[in-house]
Structure formats: C-alpha cells, structure tokens
Amino acid sequence: MDFPIDKIRNIGFIAHIDAGKTTVTERVLFASGMTHKIGNVDDGNTVTDWMDQEKERGITIVSAAVTTHWRDHQINVIDTPGHVDFTAEVERSLRVLDGAVVVFESVSGVQPQSETVWRQADKYGVPRICLINKMDRMGANFYRAVDMIKDRFKVVAVPIQLPIGSESEFSGIIDLIDQRVIRFSRETGSGVEEILDEVPEEFQQQLTEYREAMLENIAEFDEEIMMKYLDGEELTPDEIRKCIRIGTIDNKIVPVICGSAMFNWGMLLVSDAIVDFLPSPKDIPAISGVAPRSEDEVVVAHNEDDPFCGIAFKVVSDPYTGRLVYFRVYSGKVTGGTSLLNVTKGRKERMGRIVRMVANKREEVEELKAGDIGASVGLKDTFTGDTLTLENRPLLLETIKFPEPVISVAIEPKSKAEQEKLTDGLIKLAEEDPTFQTKYDEETAQTIVSGMGELHIEVLVERLKREFSVDANLGKPRVSYREAIKKKATAEGRFVRQSGGRGQYGHVVLEIEPLPEGEGFEFDNKIVGGKIPREYIPSVQAGVKEALTNGTLGGYPVVDIKVTLFDGSFHDVDSSEMAFKMAGSMGVKAAISKANPQLLEPIMGIEVTTPEEHMGDVLSDLNSRRAQIQNMEAQNDAQVLKAHVPLGQMFGYATDLRSATQGRASYSMEFDHYSEVPENIREELLAQG
C-alpha cells in the first residue's frame, strides 16, 4: 500500500528498563492486525525481541524496526532498549524518528534511564506522548507519576485520560476528550469490555475538573478555538484533538495516557494517540544540511519530488544476507540499483535490494520515498550517521553523536587458531555499534575492547560466540579514565635532527588552558608575521592531537583543553611537516607537565530501591565505595536511594547487593559525569599502572 506522507508516522517507544516498551509494541502490532497472536517477553516470543539473548534475558538489546498500519496510516515503529548500556540504540533511533511514546512504570514513575531518554529526545526536539503503564501493579499511582513528569522535566503534562481505580481495582479509563468511560476485561482480545457514552455520576466530578484543566492548557494553540472556549462554548472532540496535536508537535505540551499492556488494557487508545497527536514527516521542521563544496546551508524539505537524500542510522551483519544498512529517507525517493554518493565518506555506493523491516524479517519493496524508514543490502562502505544522496546533488546532514565508552577489557581467543576469527568478529560488531570500540595495545600486545558497561561487553562476547563461533577469554574490567589540566601553562617544542645531508627542524611555542567540562579539544592558531609558514600549521595541530591521546600521568586521553600556537621558528631548508608535527607533540607534552595535570574518573548516577530493613546495609556498602548520597525517599514500603559513585568501585555490585538484601533490592546505574580522582586514590591507581 502506498501512503501519502501526511499519513505516515515514524515513532519510537522509549523508557527505563522494565517499563514495558516491548509489551506495548507487541499490543500495538496485535491491535493493527500485523500479528495474530500476542507475544510475551517472559515467553520469549515477541516480534521485536528476536535475538536469542533478548529472549533469554528478557530485555531489549538492539532496536527493532517494524512497519504496521492503523486507521489508514502507516506507522513505522522502533522499539528501543531501556538498559543504559545500550543507549546508542536509543540515540540513533531518536535521530531519525519524528515522535516518541515515553513509557513510564506506574509505581516508580520517572526513573534514571527515563531521564536519560527524555534528554535524548529533547536534544533532537522529538514530540512525545507519555504512557503510564502497569496500572494494575501493587503501588500503582497515576497522579504521582504525572506530578513526577512535571517536576523532573519541567513540562506541561496534560492527562487526556484518567484511570478508574488502580492496582487490582484498575478496571477502566475515563476519556476526557470524548467524555466517555471504557471498561476493561481480561476475556476480550482487545481488552475493551464496554464503552459508556454516558459517564456514570460517580466519575462526573473527576471528569469535569480534569477536562477543564486540559482545555485550559490546550485552547491557546488555535485562535478560533481559543475564542470559542473563552466565550464559554462547548468544544467538539475534533477541535480538542486539533489543539492537542498542535501543542504536542510544537513541544509545548505532553499528553498523558494510561493502561496496562500486559492485559491489553488501553492499548487501542495508544495507537489512536499515535495517529492523532504525533507528527507526520510533513509536520516537523525541514532539516538542514551543508553542500560540501560551497559550505552553503541547504534546507531539505520532506518532499518526494526533490532529489533523494537520506541518513544511515544502523548497520547489522546478517548471517544470511550479509550487511544490512537501515536508513531514513528525508527527501525524494530511491529504488534498488540506484547509484548514490556517500557524502560523509566521499565514496560512490550502489543501493542494493530495498526492504521494509519487520524486526529480523524483511519484506522486499520497489522503492522508499520521503518519510519512509527501510533497509538495504549492498551498501559496502556506509556506516551509522553517514549521509546518502544522488551523485549530482551532494549534501551533508548532521551526523549522530554517541557517548564515549567508559569501561575497557582485554580480550583474547581461547585458542591461537581463532585469532583471525576474533578480529573479524570484533570489526563487524564495532561497525554495528558505535559505542563498542576495539584497539590493539602495542605495549601489552593485547586486544582491548571498550563499551558502556559490564552487560554491554558481556552481551557482545556472547554474540562473538553465537554468531562468529569464537570462544574468548576476558580480562578484568578496566575503567576508562581521562586526564585534564588545572591551570594555564606555556612551553616550547623544538625538534632538531642533524645527521648528514638534509636535517629536520621544527620549533613551536604553545599555551594550554583548561576548558569547561565536556568542551573537548580546541586549537587556536595565533601565528602572525610568517614565523611558521601556513602549510606547517595543520602538522602542528596533528602532532598536538596525537599527543593528547596519551596523557603524561597514566597515558589516558587528555580532555577539555585549549591549545594556542602563538610563536615558533622554521628553517628554509630543514623544516618539514614531520618536524613540526613532532615539535607540536613535544611542546604540548611539556606544557601539560607544568599545568597541574589531574586524573578524572567516570562517576555514575545510581538509584537503589531496597526494603526499609536493608537500608543500613545498602548505605554502608555504598559508602565503602566512595559514594556521595544525593537523595533518599520513601516509595510505598521501600526506600529509593540516589547517589553518585565512581564506576571503578562498582564492579560486581549486582552480586553484593543481592547478598546484602536477600535478593530483594534492585538498582539501575548510568554514566553521569567525569570527576577528579582524590589524591590518595590517584597514587594507588597510577602505581597499578
């Protein structure tokens, strides 16, 4: 079926781990008729959790794309992981989505990873709907969850539904837009038992109060409707939906709905809300790109009559079909066999067969057009974040930025004969996952892999075994430390070699200074009067950058530093690019040693939920790990404790927490920031090498 662009929705389900994203996705697919049997995460038979490890662990590891239909609309759904170790999957999905459904668990409300995915959605300006899921759970509290969304995210969260009862008493929804009551039953496939157009007296006060609050928040988005509302006229459901849609797409409000995905209660209304309130590709602002030759900014409208332009957001190594590249089409259309230009790499590519994805199954199509999401076999040199265009109209879209890995482990095959297979497997996994990095350490003759956490590394090693038939041994996890400087310093780098014939001469004078956290590296050329010829400046910068990959304290990368080149000298005959590269490297290392270098360690935000009686043990254990307690609050009969703690102290924490609380506590952890290592710990770390 061919859908016009205003009938397409590109949406994702995002949330904290265990909020129920995959179950919600499963119910939406079932409601649309795309599946004929409801899958269950616990039974390992859901559509989007297709990988063996996902079925075994009961978690989502890779984002899965599914195309379905609802009310004459095409919905391209991406189900994303909730675990912080797989945050790259959320990042790349949000880059190409137009809207998102943020799923919150009704008991805990806003959890740490909920905040992370919300910030990621903010970064890309993605309009969203909130779903308060698991309303049947003990301790469920819809109103508390809504208040948490307002407080934590400082947004106008507007309930458009209210739950009837909660916990085991949860039995239906009050629909504030259509002023009706929907009763639920476990016996019906859709979850809906009956719809009452006359709202019973017992719910009238609640309906009136919350409906009035909803109308106050939304009427301002359309002038005519606002005048009608101010004149005291009754607004029609269609007028209300129109205002909610405008406010949602402009990111002025966030509609809130509720339900229980496990029993399929309220899930038909999730599909309705996606169609009614989330944007089509036409509704979101046109994106801009840069013409590589002229550096001019070019606006890319979502128009299928314009030349083709798309972005690759995911690469998968498929054992049967080979390399599969997922991409989003922003303008124009593309067919199999089209000659393209990978503008990011500056290489020609040929679009192979084009498919629409249904998790790990695929349906071949002739073409994809503006607003579509699909995949192609045959793009050999295209990676995550690369822009694809027609050869005669090159255009570079903003790429996707990923967080740096925080943990490293040495890896080796169990037998020497498997070394080549291991290397091949690691390269393919690194192609798929930009937060997984692999490098060879010359000094120790070891292969080092880096990732976002212990689970991330564990899952990838398991994939090596299953997909590439390589058994590997892992070393002890190592933290990815960083180095930084505390003050300004100046130094010179002089590289002079004279050994008969032509010599080498490079001389630079540099100033370094610290930058605010997260600013990275800045190079400023202030050479005047030709003291160093212009053609040697890039070599100085290259030498400086190379030197910063190995700091002077422990050989860790130096971050948040500005380097200013302001003086130097050259020799007419002996100066060369190599000499100035060496001089730049020597100069910056000399300056760092004078600038009070510091060791930085990754600090994690941790949230522990524990029964009251184990609170003392949990606190004492965290204090022994150098944790800084941020907050403690009661949640039903449990305590929720938030803290900042160094990653280096957290290896094996899951086991220790289980034994300290008889398996009754749970925790979640995510990277928060880098912080200076205390002096006594620093000496210990550097002594360990």
Note whether 654 and 612 are within 8 A (CB): no
What are the C-alpha distances in Å from 51 to residues 137, 146, 433, 530, 625? 28, 34, 15, 60, 35
Note whether 387 and 342 are within 8 A (CB): yes
User: What single string gives the DSSP state of each residue in 12-46?
Assistant: EEEESTTSSHHHHHHHHHHHTTS-SS---TTTT--
pLDDT tens per residue across span 618-634: 999 999 999 999 999 88
Name the region of 232 (left: φ>0; alpha: ψ -120 to 50; beta: rest): left
Task: State how far the Cα of 146 lies from the Cα of 257, in Å rounded to an integer.
Answer: 10
- For strand 387-389 and strand 339-342, is the pairing parallel, antiparallel, or unpaired? antiparallel
Copy the structure tokens of residue 171: 């039995």
Confidence at residue 386, expressed as pLDDT on a 0 to 100 scale: 92
Please, what's the largest Cα pairwise distance for the chain? 102
Other CB atoms within 10 A of residue 228 CB: 16
Find where tokens 């990988």 sit: 51
Burial of residue 664, with CB atoms counted within 10 A of its CB: 0-12 exposed, 13-18 middle, 19 or more buried: middle
With bands split at pLDDT 50, 70 and 90, how would you rate the model's confidence at 51? low
Other CB atoms within 10 A of residue 82 CB: 27
Task: State how far the Cα of 101 lies from the Cα of 266, in Å rounded to an integer.
Answer: 14
Closest to 11 (Cα-Cα) out of 275, 236, 244: 275
| CA angle in degrees (0–180, nearest 5) for 226-142-186 | 110
Confidence at residue 50, expressed as pLDDT on a 0 to 100 scale: 47
Label each residue of 562-616 as H, E or C: EEEEEEEECCCCCCCHHHHHHHHHHHHHHHHHHCCCEEEEEEEEEEEEEEHHHHH
Other CB atoms within 10 A of residue 612 CB: 10
Confidence at residue 684, expressed as pLDDT on a 0 to 100 scale: 82
Other CB atoms within 10 A of residue 437 CB: 16
Mean pLDDT of 400-417: 84
Average pLDDT value for the chain: 88
Copy the structure tokens of residue 537: 């400046």
With bands split at pLDDT 50, 70 and 90, how would you rate the model's confidence at 46? low
Mean pLDDT of 78-104: 84
Long-range contacts of 500-504 (CB under 8 A, 24+ apart): 502/573, 502/574, 503/571, 503/573, 503/574, 504/574, 504/575, 504/576, 504/578, 504/579, 504/582
Other CB atoms within 10 A of residue 245 CB: 21
With bands split at pLDDT 50, 70 and 90, how would you rate the model's confidence at 682? confident
Note whether 94 and 128 are within 8 A (CB): no
Please list the helix, strand and coil fractions of the chain in percent, rounded to the nearest 5, in that order.
Answer: 30, 35, 35
Mean pLDDT of 498-526: 88
pLDDT at 588 over 90: yes
3-class secondary structure, 239 = helix
Phi and psi dihedrals of 129, rounded to 5?
-115, 145
pLDDT at 61 over 80: no
Q: Which residues of 160-196 are buried (b: 16+ CB within 10 A; e: fewer)?
A: bbbbbebeeebbbbbbbbeebbbebeeeeeebbeeee
pLDDT at 184 over 90: yes
* Amino acid of residue 282: K
Find where tokens 């305590």 sit: 639
| CA angle in degrees (0–180, nearest 5) for 409-411-417 | 175
With bands split at pLDDT 50, 70 and 90, how would you rate the model's confidence at 194? confident
Confidence at residue 54, expressed as pLDDT on a 0 to 100 scale: 57
Note whether 310 and 374 are within 8 A (CB): no
3-class secondary structure, 160 = coil
Task: State how far the Cα of 221 lies from the Cα of 243, in Å rounded to an integer.
Answer: 6
What are the C-alpha distances in Å from 77 to residues 8, 25, 281? 11, 8, 14
Mean pLDDT of 391-396: 90
Copy the structure tokens of residue 91: 């990042």
Pick the most confident of 170-179, 358-367, 390-399, 603-612: 170-179
pLDDT tens per residue across span 527-565: 988 899 999 999 999 999 999 998 988 888 999 999 999
Mean pLDDT of 560-575: 92
Mean pLDDT of 423-442: 87
pLDDT at 296 over 80: yes
With bands split at pLDDT 50, 70 and 90, how would you rate the model's confidence at 48? low
CA-CA-CA-CA torsion sign (504, 505, 511, 515): negative
With bands split at pLDDT 50, 70 and 90, how would you rate the model's confidence at 153? very high
Other CB atoms within 10 A of residue 537 CB: 18
3-class secondary structure, 495 = strand
Note whether 522 and 563 are within 8 A (CB): yes
Confidence at residue 689, expressed as pLDDT on a 0 to 100 scale: 61
User: What angle do the packed helices 653-660 and 615-624 form, to 10 degrees?
Assistant: 150
Pick the most confident of 245-254, 281-290, 369-378: 245-254
Confidence at residue 105, expressed as pLDDT on a 0 to 100 scale: 94
Phi and psi dihedrals of 52, rounded to 5?
-55, -45
Confidence at residue 217, expressed as pLDDT on a 0 to 100 scale: 95
Domains of the chain: 5-277 (3.40.50.300), 287-397 (2.40.30.10), 407-480 (3.30.70.870), 483-596 (3.30.230.10), 600-688 (3.30.70.240)
Higher pLDDT, 279 or 659: 279
With bands split at pLDDT 50, 70 and 90, how would you rate the model's confidence at 652? confident
Q: Which residues of 267-278 are buried (b: 16+ CB within 10 A; e: fewer)?
A: bbbbbbbbbbbb
Task: State how far the Cα of 496 lies from the Cα of 300, in Å rounded to an integer.
Answer: 52
pLDDT tens per residue across span 215-237: 999 999 999 999 999 999 999 99
Higher pLDDT, 182 or 315: 182
